[in-house]
Amino acid sequence: MKVLLINGSPHANGCTKAALDEVDKALKENGIETEHIHVGHKMIHGCIACGKCSELQRCVFDDVVNEVANKFENADGIVIGSPVYYASAAGTLTSFLDRLFFSTGKRFSKRMKVGAVVVSARRAGTIATFDQLNKYFAISQMPIATSQYWNEVHGYSADEVAQDEEGLQTMRVLGRNMAFLVKGIALAKKAYGLPEEEPWICTNFIR
């Protein structure tokens, strides 16, 4: 079983990485393989709504989005980490996630893959960012892993995050809960299969 950890910060070893590392340790201690992927420093174009992904089964922009899509297809879960910019996620990460989730929509089902979000901020804006990023999972039939508090750490540097004892504990609890969900879903799929799925009904109210 494997979980991807996505670092959406432009800083490879900053506050967001410190939070992801704490989740990573707990996942590994509970038997889950992990892989870190840093995307926040890359030039990532936003989705242009061309619809080519339905035909190509990949995004028309052949960059890190398609690379991660290949890994995501075979993963059991994904953790999205972001700094807070203007009370929302980093723009590069948002472009990455828009394209990742949309371009894989018809390629593979994300049902019952476990999702989690961790956010870091000096002070405020974490809850708005947390809510924003969890919506990618909520629209994809992905169970969302939670912790003892909202999944956030605070600090202006990785060293300051290391002093946020409650935040780090929240990350460890998240990692353990996510490992439990991943393993529990794997057992349930083996015993019962996935829940019955209905054909999607797309209602347009414009007449």
Domain-embedded: residue 197: no
Domain-embedded: residue 142: yes
Q: How far is CA 121 from CA 38, 47, 79, 115, 191, in A?
A: 18, 26, 17, 20, 42
- Is a pLDDT exceeding 90 seen at residue 207? no
Domain-embedded: residue 205: no
Domain-embedded: residue 202: no
Instruction: With cut-offs at 50, 70 and 90, classify the pLDDT of residue 74.
Output: very high
Domain count, the chain: 1
Domain-embedded: residue 171: yes
Domain-embedded: residue 199: no
Longest dimension (CA), the chain: 57
DSSP for 58-111 reads S-SS-SHHHHHHHHHHT-SEEEEEEEEETTEE-HHHHHHHHHHHHHTTTTS--T
> Could you tell me the CATH number of the domain that includes residue 70?
3.40.50.360
Tell me the pTM: 0.95
Give the pLDDT of residue 205: 82
Amino acid at 115: G
Domain-embedded: residue 132: yes
Q: Which domain holds residue 186?
A: 2-192
Domain-embedded: residue 162: yes
Q: What is the dihedral of CA 190, 192, 193, 195, to 10 degrees?
A: -150
Shortest CA distance to 8 belongs to which of 87, 72, 94, 86?
Answer: 94
Instruction: With cut-offs at 50, 70 and 90, classify the pLDDT of residue 204.
Output: confident
